[in-house]
C-alpha cells in the first residue's frame, strides 16, 4: 500500500470518507452493511478514517467508534467539530449549527470522544470556520485540546490560503480538507500550494465528484428526497446536461489508461502532489476495491494533459454549492 503523511502519521494514500454510511446521499445502508464496509476497508489496508459530529448528527461517529474501537491502534482516526446538530426552537429538533466559539469546540470534542469510544482523536478538524469568531480564537481552543491530550493534531475544512496562514500562526495545522476533483479545481488557485509550502496534508473530499466522475450520467430526479445533491446547482437539469457532455471523453481517456473513470479521477488527484490524500466514500465493497485500484495506476502524461484540458474550470457548469452554503465556506473561487 502506498503511503502519505498527515501530521505525525503515515497513512495509506487513499483514506475512507465515512459520511455516506450515515448521512447525505439518501437512505444510508443498514447498520450491518455499514459495519461490514468499514471492516472491509480496514482489511484492504486503509488506515485513515474520516468522520464528523455532523454526519447523522453523531450517528456516524457512533458507528465508526463501535466498529473500529477494537482496531484503534491500526488506524488514524479523524473527526470534526464546530458544525453539529444542535436542538433549536421550542420543539428541540436537531438542526445543523455552525458554532466556532471556544466553549462549543470543547463541548463538540468531548461529545465526539464519547461517541467514538476513544481517549484521543488523531486529527481533529474545524468543520467550518464560524466567521463570527476570529479563526485565531477557534484554533486556540483546538490547541488547548492538544494540550489536554484529547487531540493529537489539528485540521481545518473549507478554508482558503489566507485563513490557513492565520491559523498556523496560532498552532501547526496538520491537514486542510476541502472538495477537490477534476470538476472542482478551486484549490489550485492558492490553497493547494499553500499546503505544500507549509507541510500541511491536503485531504480531498468528494474526489469522484459526488458520483459524477464515475462515468454514468446522474439524474437528480432519481435522487432520494434528502439527498444533499438536490440542492447543488451542478445537478440541476441544465447544468447536469452540460456536464454530462464531458463524460464520453472521460470514458475514452479511462479506456486509454486501462481503468475505470473513477480510478482515473483518483489517479489524477494522487498525481497533484505527494501531500494530497483523497478520501472517497462508498457504501459498496465493489466500489471500495475499484477505488483502491487507482493506487496501482501509471497514467500516461498525454492522458493527464487531456484530463486537465477536458475539465478546465471554465468548462464546468454550475456552482458546487447553493448561495447559502457558498456563504458558509472560505475557499477561493474562480471568477464567474
What pLDDT digit, counting tens, does each position of 192-236 carry? 999 999 999 999 999 999 999 999 999 999 999 999 999 999 999
What 3-state class would DSSP assign to 324? helix
Question: C-alpha cell of 236?
Answer: 440541476
Q: What DSSP state is assigned to residue 29?
A: P
Instruction: Write down the mean pLDDT value for the chain.
Output: 97
> Is 315's pLDDT higher than 80?
yes
Phi, psi of 30 (to 5 degrees): -60, 150
Q: Are 160 and 331 in contact (CB under 8 A)?
A: yes
Q: What is the mean pLDDT of residues 304-317?
A: 96
- Report how far apart the first and last C-alpha atoms of the chain are (Å, whole number): 40
Supply the pTM of this predicted model. Answer: 0.97
Residue 322 confidence (pLDDT) above 80: yes
Write phi, then psi, for 273 (nearest 5 degrees): 160, 150
Catalytic residue positions, numbered: 55
For 198, the grid coordinates are 507549509
Q: Which domains does the chain have, with CATH numbers?
A: 3-211+262-297 (3.20.20.100)
Q: Is 126 exposed, middle or buried (0-12, 13-18, 19+ CB in 10 A)?
A: buried
Amino acid at each position: 500500500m502506498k503511503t502519505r503523511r498527515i501530521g505525525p502519521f503515515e497513512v495509506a494514500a487513499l483514506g475512507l470518507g465515512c459520511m455516506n454510511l450515515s448521512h447525505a446521499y439518501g437512505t444510508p445502508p443498514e447498520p450491518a452493511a455499514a459495519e461490514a464496509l468499514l471492516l472491509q476497508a480496514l482489511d484492504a489496508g486503509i488506515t485513515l478514517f474520516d468522520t464528523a459530529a455532523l454526519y447523522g448528527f453523531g450517528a456516524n461517529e457512533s458507528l465508526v467508534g463501535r466498529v473500529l474501537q477494537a482496531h484503534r491502534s491500526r488506524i488514524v482516526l479523524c473527526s470534526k467539530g464546530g458544525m453539529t446538530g444542535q436542538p433549536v426552537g421550542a420543539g428541540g429538533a436537531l438542526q445543523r449549527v455552525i458554532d466556532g466559539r471556544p466553549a462549543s469546540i470543547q463541548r463538540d470534542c468531548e461529545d465526539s470522544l464519547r461517541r467514538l469510544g476513544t481517549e484521543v482523536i488523531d486529527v481533529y478538524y474545524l468543520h467550518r470556520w464560524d466567521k463570527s469568531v476570529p479563526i485565531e480564537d477557534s484554533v486556540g481552543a483546538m490547541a488547548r485540546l492538544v494540550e489536554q491530550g484529547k487531540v493529537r493534531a489539528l485540521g481545518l475544512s473549507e478554508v482558503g490560503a489566507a485563513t490557513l496562514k492565520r491559523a498556523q500562526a496560532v498552532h501547526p495545522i496538520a491537514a486542510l480538507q476541502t472538495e477537490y476533483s477534476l470538476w472542482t479545481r478551486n484549490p489550485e488557485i492558492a490553497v493547494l500550494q499553500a499546503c505544500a509550502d507549509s507541510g500541511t496534508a491536503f485531504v480531498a473530499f468528494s474526489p469522484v465528484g459526488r458520483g459524477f466522475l464515475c462515468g454514468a450520467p446522474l439524474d437528480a430526479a432519481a435522487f432520494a428526497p434528502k439527498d444533499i445533491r438536490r440542492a447543488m446547482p451542478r445537478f440541476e437539469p441544465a447544468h447536469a446536461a452540460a456536464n454530462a457532455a464531458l463524460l464520453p471523453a472521460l470514458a475514452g481517456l479511462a479506456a486509454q489508461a486501462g481503468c475505470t473513470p473513477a480510478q482515473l479521477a483518483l489517479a489524477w488527484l494522487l498525481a497533484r502532489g505527494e501531500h494530497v490524500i483523497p478520501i472517497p466514500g462508498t457504501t459498496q465493497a465493489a466500489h471500495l476495491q475499484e477505488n483502491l485500484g487507482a493506487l496501482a495506476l501509471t497514467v500516461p502524461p498525454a492522458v493527464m494533459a487531456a484530463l486537465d484540458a477536458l475539465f478546465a474550470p471554465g468548462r464546468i457548469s454550475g456552482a458546487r454549492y447553493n448561495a447559502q452554503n457558498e456563504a458558509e465556506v472560505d475557499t477561493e473561487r474562480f471568477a464567474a
